[in-house]
Chains A and B, each alone.
Chain A
Amino acid sequence: MFKFLQFTLTRAVLSLFTLLTVSLIVFSLMEMVPGNCAERYLAFKNTQGSQISIDDIQAEERRLGLDKPFLQRWTGWVANVFVRGDFGDSCILRLDINQLLSDKFWISLGICLAALVVAYAIAIPVGIYSATTRSAVANNSLRLVSYLGLALPNFLLALIIMLISTVLFGDSLTGLFSAQYRDAPWSFDKLLDFLSRAWLPIFILGWSATAFALQTVRALMLDEVGKLYVTAASARGISGSRLLWRYPARHAMGPVINSLGFDLNRIFNELPVVALILTLTEAGALLIESLARSNDQQLAGAIIFLLTASIVAVNFVTDILLALMDPRIRKGLIGS
């Protein structure tokens, strides 16, 4: 038990270290964008009609602490983020980033996690079936679907679905809330409304993730099915789905759990593009907004950091889960 705690702790420290490295990358990126926050803000003020000078910019820089050296600012940022969970103010919007992001980020994360769950809920049974079936038709059509999942980008799928629904139903299925609930506080009705609209982004985000997961599950199962312990089990008289689920599937699940973090990574990839097409109002759309339009480094950095942090968190959880599930790994860690 103590050993297990030790393992958990080491993993946690390693995850923290990864997060630190990521924060350094993100922060340097934000720094490298030409022009700093003060200049940008005052340039914005300039367009509103007030005259500004170099002195004004320097005063603003001092106020924001931009005159301090890079490392000091990074440590300040990291300390704020890690200790207080505070990302500071957005550069352009002059709003507290936490306030701006909180709801939207959780919605995004929820949609992505739901997409991940849907992907595996489809991929695991179908993958196991396709690994064990001998029917060529089923195999080939599954292969085609999974290749299409790779080749047909999610945004094209979204476009096609939108086209069909606009022509057939006259509803473009965009947005996450219908008009009457958009600004309402969270309630049961709003949740239902949200769910009735969220299935489309979840499906689209899950599309290529499903294709990937299907290939992984199928390959892993193919490797396991031929092994001797499966033959031994079937010699003992276990057959059908009972055999599959109890023997090869359990072994194949290890690497699948291991890859969950990277699948989430892949889903996050599609998030901004899908958000743009479906005109969702969540973190992905905010990321595009902050990068493409207003060049708001502070906000963009916060979003990228949060996305990465959730991947690191998932990786941490899956590592622990693996150790709990797989006696071989547990023994390797704790026994020695």
Chain B
Amino acid sequence: MSLLNRKSTSEKSRKLKEAYFTASQGQLIRARFRQNRAAMVAAVALTIMVLMGFFAPFLSPYAPNISGRDKSYENGPPQIPKFWDENGFSARPFLYTLERERSIQTNFRWVTTENRDKRRYVEFFVRGWKYSYIDIEWNLPGTLFDVDFQALTTDLHLFGVDEGGIHLFGTDASGKDIYSRTLHAINTSLAVGTLGVLISFVLALFIGGVAGYFGGWIDSVLQMITDAIRTVPPIPLFMALAAFMPDAWSAETRFFFIASILGLIGWPTLARRIRTHLLTERSQEYVLAAELCGASSGHVIRRHLLPSFTSYIIVDLMITFPYVVRSETALSFIGLGLTDPVNSLGSLMQSVSKADVILNYQWYFIPVLFFIAFVLAFVFVGDGLRDAADPYSHSKR
């Protein structure tokens, strides 16, 4: 009996071994990543946040700009829908009706009271403000590149209430819904990060690739320049560049400019890594073989060298991403980056530093929590991916 058992387990382990040795690099990385519990949790959280950012208009009941403001609920605390109270249970979540009054009894000041007897029920899939899923409106300097294109316009929203407002995270000083703004801010931060990382990636690939492949004096000169740029502290440099922005620029142009700056300064670290990798890989036999077969240098780079470290590049991009987002946030925070009409996590945090807000309106801090969760999730996923992509990570432990 035990003999049989042993046989079947050895059969099983043989199969496992076979699966291990025949698995592709991608499958191995995925399997290793799945074993990392912290990274998996972070990946789920990240996916949720990315989806939230992507479907921000659908999920938010109010427009994130001044047009969506609630004049009768400025600096209002968060309204959490309830399922029950002393008047009984309700399957559909509800809010209380707020009544505002200004009369001689209230000394002619606006006083808001909560009428607990009048319930306002939350409704799902309601019609609200209009938005488009494809909304490209570039107003770059010059008229040649102006694009104004909208498609998939709809006004469907996940939830809303009939009259009055529903503000899950409260409202800010002008009555804008902080929940809607946070969702849109995640969207903006993702877009800035993606654009910045892409620009720096292309630059790094080009410069690092040239330096690493050709070596010699080209490499030395490029390395000197890269090192010089690397020594300049980036945020002061960002600030110097961001100070160029004329105030007259539109929100979109500013967005574009900031993202490009972040990309233009972020490339040296990645470029250096690509160069080092190429330098070691260049002297391998398979490159020599390809060259002996008469392949051009472009072909060797594209078909042989790049695929040899795609996984490293992807991991590196994942790790760079939160730093780009952080830089944007810091820039916007001091007022040099994206400003008010654009909702970014940094511009939302700008108002947090006021003493008035710190002491009285603590719900302004909710976007901050999202920011921390966002960056943490990215760092965890990046670290998990790095460990998963490193074939020696297991033998090290």
Contact = CB atoms under 8 A, between A and B. Distances in A.
Nearest to B239: A291
A317 interface: no
Contact of B239 (A156, A272, A277): A272
Given A166-B358, A222-B396, A311-B233, A292 B375 contact: no
B201 interface: no
A163 B329 CA distance: 20
B41 interface: no
Given A150-B322, A155-B333, A277-B353, A287 B236 contact: yes
A42 interface: no
Contacts of A34: 244, 246
Contact of A159 (B229, B353, B379, B396): B353
Interface in B202-253: 224-225, 227-237, 239-244, 246
B236 A261 contact: no
A29 B329 contact: no
A323 interface: no
Given A153-B326, A292-B243, A303 B236 contact: yes
Interface in A21-48: 21-22, 25-26, 29, 32-34
Interface string B37-51: 000000000000000
Given A269-B233, A269-B236, A270-B235, A166 B372 contact: no
Interface string A99-112: 00000000000000
A23 B61 CA distance: 51
Interface in A281-336: 287-288, 291-292, 295, 300-301, 303-304, 307-308, 311-312, 315
A273 interface: yes
B236 A25 contact: no
Interface in B366-397: 368, 372, 375-376, 379-380, 396
Given A33-B244, A153-B330, A308 B233 contact: yes
B352 interface: yes
Contact of B329 (A153, A265, A277): A153
B334 interface: yes
Contact of B241 (A22, A29, A287): A29
B228 A25 contact: yes
A151 B375 CA distance: 5
Contacts of B185: none
B240 A29 contact: yes
A22 B237 CA distance: 11
Contacts of A148: 376
Contacts of B235: 268-270, 272-273
Interface centre among B231, B326, B334, B380 (most CB of A within 10 A): B231
Given A21-B228, A159-B358, A300 B243 contact: yes
A66 interface: no
B227 A18 contact: yes
Interface string B255-297: 0000000000000000000000000000000000000000000
Contact of B375 (A18, A150, A269): A150
A150 B396 CA distance: 25
A79 interface: no
B134 interface: no
Contacts of B334: 272-273, 276, 288, 292
23 contacts: A17-B224, A18-B227, A25-B228, A25-B232, A29-B240, A29-B241, A33-B243, A33-B244, A147-B376, A151-B322, A156-B372, A159-B352, A222-B396, A266-B233, A272-B334, A273-B235, A273-B330, A273-B334, A287-B239, A291-B242, A304-B233, A308-B233, A311-B231
Interface of A: 17-18, 21-22, 25-26, 29, 32-34, 147-148, 150-153, 155-156, 159, 162-163, 166-167, 172, 222, 226, 261-262, 265-266, 268-273, 276-277, 287-288, 291-292, 295, 300-301, 303-304, 307-308, 311-312, 315
Given A222-B396, A300-B243, 11 more contacts: A25-B229, A34-B244, A151-B379, A156-B349, A159-B353, A265-B230, A265-B233, A272-B236, A292-B336, A311-B231, A311-B233
